[in-house]
Amino acid sequence: MKVLIATEKPFSKVAVDGIKKIVEDAGYQFAALEKYTSPEELKAAVGDADALIVRSDKVTKEVIDAAKNLKIVVRAGAGYDNLDLAACTGRGIVAMNTPGQNSNAVAELALCFMVYMSRNQLTAGTGSELKGKTLGIQAYGNVGRLVAGLAKGFGMNIMAFDPFVPSEVIEKDGVKVAKDLEELYSKSNFVSLHIPATEQTKGSIGYNLLSKMPKGGCLVNTARKEVINEPELVKVLTEREDLKYITDIAAGNQAELNEKFGKRVFATPKKMGAETAEANINAGLAAANQIVDFFKTGNKKFQVNK
């Protein structure tokens, strides 16, 4: 049985060593393809793999077609929009994620982003504090909950909107429930996005919501670029010279944003939300353990293509 890690953006060495140990202790063969630069390299590497561990790597139908022996693919992380689930299901391949394992790293970065934008991207000039400001959390899952906990430490007022989480669950954390997205955006100095990229959410954050933000509002995106309506983002940033946007996933039109809006926008050079040793270890080892458990006992607890 061969377990392949294929990571264009590699895990830390300590995480790779840990994954290798779990795989080999279970009696399986370990292989790694790191920092690859073309889908062809990935297709060649998956040829004889029985199990595959990826991060944001695109596991397309072509990759699945090339992976003749593949039985399980685990996205070491939360969002699995990079996996072609229909192609997996069509071949009877189990697809999983590792929910919660890298959430703390992403949550810490979201707070870092708020401070960074409030302090003029750490350049000269008078900034502002998070204390007393209102934070709107869009989606109260693993990351959203942790963001709320950290924001409380900063003395922020917190609201959240998540149609899939009962109000009592949100309220017991001392977080106010927004009745809809309009309320969330119109009352929040910062809105932090924690929604997945799905057919429903793609392009859903645009002019209507952003134009409702209070003066000086800042949108914080550690989720996915696809959820933003990019032309409408340009429109609202043009009309509202007070609004700001910071993202961990450069927009398709990031060069245009940078040129037009200067220090009101910021994008990390490469997605770094889950780029901590801890997140790599937690998500990577969880992926390896899930694969071993699946092969040994048939456990499919984290399957996402049911």
- Which residues from 271-300 bind ligand 3PG, rule CB under 6 A? 271, 273-274
Q: What are residue 205's phi and psi, to 5 degrees? A: -100, 105
Task: Choose the stretch contacting ligand 3PG; rule: CB under 6 A; options: 129-137, 200-208, 268-276, 285-293.
Answer: 268-276
Question: 281 near 12, Cβ under 8 Å?
Answer: yes
**Are the beta carbons of 156 and 133 closer than 8 angstroms?**
yes
**77 makes contact with ligand 3PG (CB under 6 A):** yes
Helix (H) or strand (E) holding 191: strand 190-193
Using CB under 6 A, which residues numbered 229 to 258 contact ligand 3PG? none
Interface region with ligand 3PG, contact rule CB under 6 A, candidates 16-24, 43-51, 128-136, 266-274: 266-274
Could you tell me the smallest distance in angstroms from the CB atom of residue 87 to ligand 3PG?
Answer: 19
Output 7 or 188, the one with its CB closest to ligand 3PG: 7
Query: Which residues does 30 contact at the CB level (< 8 Å), separation at least 6?
Result: 2, 3, 5, 19, 20, 23, 24
Among candidates 46, 42, 86, which has minimal Cα distance to 68?
Answer: 46
225: contact with ligand 3PG by CB under 6 A: no
Query: Would you say 249 and 267 are in contact if contact means Cβ atoms under 8 Å apart?
Result: yes
Of the residues 30, 39, 43, 79, which one makes contact with ligand 3PG according to CB under 6 A: 79
Q: Cβ 201 to ligand 3PG, closest distance in Å?
A: 14
Is residue 55 a contact point for ligand 3PG (CB under 6 A)? yes
Tell me which residues in 94-153 interact with ligand 3PG (CB under 6 A).
Answer: 102
CA quadruple 154, 158, 163, 168: dihedral positive or negative? positive
Contacting range for ligand 3PG; rule: CB under 6 A; set: 112-120, 204-212, 233-241, 267-275: 267-275
Tokens of 139: 């989606």
What are the CA-CA distances from residue 152 to residues 141, 159, 176, 221 (Å)? Answer: 17, 11, 12, 19
Indicate which single residue of 78, 107, 114, 205 sits in contact with ligand 3PG (rule: CB under 6 A): 78
- Tokens for 260? 């037009």
Q: Which helix (H) or strand (E) holds 87?
A: helix 85-90
Count of residues near ligand 3PG by CB under 6 A: 10
Q: 102 vs 118, which CB is nearer to ligand 3PG?
A: 102
Q: Which is nearer to ligand 3PG, 56 or 204 (CB)?
A: 56
Residue with tokens 């750490």: 122
- Compute the least distance from the CB of residue 147 to ligand 3PG, in Å: 14
Residues contributing to the site for ligand 3PG (CB under 6 A): 9, 55-56, 77-79, 102, 271, 273-274
